[in-house]
A and B are shown apart, each in its own frame.
Chain A
Amino acid sequence: MARELKFESPSFAQRLKGMLGVDFYRLFHTPLFYIFLAIAAVIPAMILGTMGSEGAEQLYTNTWHIIAAETPLYVVNGISEYANMNMVFIFGGIMVSIFIGHDYKSGYVKQLFTTHAKKEDYMMSKSLVGAFSMACMCVTYLFGAMLAGLLVQTSFEVNAGSLLCAVLGKMVMSLGWASLYTFLNIIFRKYFGVSIASSFFFGTGILIIGAAAIVGNSSVLNIFLYGASVYACLSANFVTLIVCIACSAAWAAIYNVLGARILAKCDVY
């Protein structure tokens, strides 16, 4: 039986729509996403619940300190200064690793790459979905922290504009972080455990913390993902938000280009 064969090249928007559609469908149909949303809400509540209660060990007196530091602190004095919304980027890293790991483990990635010749579709889609899920985690984290603050009765005093810029700044940073995790997972695609470990390692910001120990509280660190994430603090303003957007977008572009190149040059398996 003869039939007319037509081959219409899908536009970039059509390709990305297809790939994003799959990833969002998966995200909303997997318990993993909801588990991580819950973790993001519970962790600040637990920390504030234990370290914000009145007593000798009270480390938090203001609820918003679990969201961000007062000023951009790259060199910290205590563990509590690390424990803010930046933790979402560690949870997000693990979630993105599991999400991409399932693509490879199930073999679904073969279906994707059979029909999608352009590897940048994959990188962009995973980065955007990862960013969305981390941004959602930021929101549940915020609610978890607020609820815990109400329960332990810590102060809610804050400059609302700065708080908004800080939260939005951290949410914006999700794109850069998600791109980094997608990139790491592409590099370590054959080693699921290494993917998770590397995401965790970079998510802690240990490299920037180490660099800060040498260079001090320098604003140069803001060009890095962890630096800009720390910069989104409770003294943030509109400029802070612009810095976060620029940093996140720049790193997202770099990681997406590199990741797409690696995928195009290397075997899927």
Chain B
Amino acid sequence: MNAIEIRNLSKSFRGMYAVDRLHMTVPVGAIYGFIGENGSGKSTTEKLICGHLVPDEGEIKLFGRDYTDAGVRVRVGALIENAGCFPNSSVYQNLMMQAINLGIEDREKEIDRVLKIVRMEDSAHIKFKSCSLGMKQRIGIAMALLGDPALLILDEPINGLDTDGMRIMREILVDITQKYATTVLISSHILGELEKIATHYGIIRQGKMIVEMSASELENRARVFVSLKTKDMQGAKRALAAKYGNVKEEDDYLRVYDVDDTEEIVGYLMEKGYVVSELKKNKIGLEEYYVELMSSKEAN
């Protein structure tokens, strides 16, 4: 069973398709990184899943049930755009309202639990409007976590956070999935951060899903390369290009793509009279994979 299964989903605004016959599959227990440029349809898709927008056509199933099923929707937590809290109410009051809304029996205990998860035990009585951006995002996650959701939908939760905020958020997300086995759909622009936590990826462009893959599939698809430094970079580049073809100079390093035999490269360069001062084997990351994918789509 999949946590989310979307088939042929479309949504248009004034004749412009924000989501265009989208297919999406999120396995149960996954941390699904939802990637795409601004206006690609990520947020619209998430809003459609949460029932905030009405689709033009298509089918959305959550845990095998129609997404309008009250039983499944009560187990969905979301942080879309903002935390959805009343600014003049305290953090505790906002959480209390959501706990009442969800019909949670032992509300105080549940609020303490989620505040602990988001590391905000000491900030319960601060007014929401007095909280920093990082705190507000964490409160949004706490709101979404109330009632033990089976599915969490997080729209850009790490946007605008400082390094420490991002680290805390990452730890929280890993905690949630490891301790509670919650399925998480998370959209973000910060691919480096996403790469550290996601188990699955979906890349969307102009409302269409371009590719869906697991982290291990990305690992397999990602191109390997050897990066190296020599005194005569231009000469070495020419020599390497003559033998290996795909050579680029990036960040003061020469990158030889689709080759992982470092000994062979060093031997070849020595033969040609170039001394290698630094050398390492690499794989391109999610960010570079994404950029490459986008450029190839643009070229097509």
Contact = CB atoms under 8 A, between A and B. Distances in A.
Interface of A: 1-3, 5, 7-10, 14-15, 17-19, 21-22, 25-26, 29, 102, 106-118, 264-269
B300 interface: no
B54 A108 contact: no
Interface in B70-84: 70-78, 80-84
Contacts of B180: 1, 3
Interface centre among B67, B76, B101, B103 (most CB of A within 10 A): B101
Given A22-B101, A115-B102, A269-B52, A108 B96 contact: no
B29 interface: yes
B101 A107 contact: no
B262 interface: no
B76 A7 contact: no
Interface in B205-226: none
Interface centre among B78, B84, B102 (most CB of A within 10 A): B84
A267 B89 contact: no
B85 interface: yes
Contacts of B80: 110, 114
Contacts of A1: 29, 178-181
Nearest to B68: A117
Nearest to B65: A7
Contact of A110 (B52, B73, B86, B97): B52
Interface in B24-78: 28-29, 47, 50-54, 63, 65, 67-78
B46 to A, nearest CB: 10
Given A26-B97, A29-B93, A114-B73, 17 more contacts: A2-B181, A3-B180, A7-B65, A7-B75, A18-B101, A22-B97, A26-B86, A102-B86, A107-B82, A108-B97, A109-B84, A110-B50, A110-B84, A111-B143, A115-B147, A117-B67, A117-B69
Q: Give the interface size bracket for B toward A.
A: 35 or more
Instruction: List the 9 shortest-distance A-B pairs measured between CB atoms, nearest first.
Output: A9-B71, A107-B84, A21-B100, A7-B71, A1-B181, A268-B52, A117-B73, A18-B103, A111-B84
Interface centre among A8, A17, A25, A117 (most CB of B within 10 A): A117
B273 interface: no
A150 to B, nearest CB: 37
B245 interface: no
A113 B49 CA distance: 11
Given A29-B93, A107-B83, A108-B85, A10 B51 contact: no
B96 A25 contact: yes
Nearest to A1: B181
22 contacts: A1-B178, A7-B65, A7-B72, A7-B150, A9-B69, A18-B102, A18-B103, A21-B100, A21-B101, A25-B97, A26-B86, A107-B82, A107-B85, A110-B50, A110-B78, A111-B101, A114-B51, A115-B76, A115-B102, A115-B147, A267-B54, A268-B52
Contacts of B87: 106
Nearest to B77: A114
A47 B72 CA distance: 54
Nearest to B76: A114
B178 A114 contact: no
A107 B98 CA distance: 13
B84 A106 contact: yes
Given A110-B84, A114-B78, A17 B103 contact: yes
A3 B93 CA distance: 30
Interface of B: 28-29, 47, 50-54, 63, 65, 67-78, 80-87, 89, 93, 96-98, 100-103, 143, 147, 150, 153, 178-181
B265 to A, nearest CB: 43
B73 A115 contact: yes
Contacts of B181: 1-3
Nearest to A9: B71
A219 to B, nearest CB: 42
A207 B70 CA distance: 40
Contacts of A29: 89, 93
Nearest to A20: B100
A106 B85 contact: yes
Given A29-B89, A110-B80, A19 B101 contact: yes
B52 A115 contact: no
Given A1-B178, A107-B82, A113-B52, A7 B101 contact: no
A85 B46 CA distance: 47
Contacts of A102: 86
Nearest to B80: A110
A102 B69 CA distance: 27
A128 to B, nearest CB: 15
A134 B83 CA distance: 30
Contacts of A26: 86, 97
Interface centre among B65, B96, B103 (most CB of A within 10 A): B103
Contacts of A7: 63, 65, 69, 71-72, 75, 150
Contact of A5 (B63, B68, B96): B63
B70 A117 contact: yes
Contacts of A22: 97-98, 100-101
Given A117-B51, A117-B70, A269-B53, A111 B82 contact: no
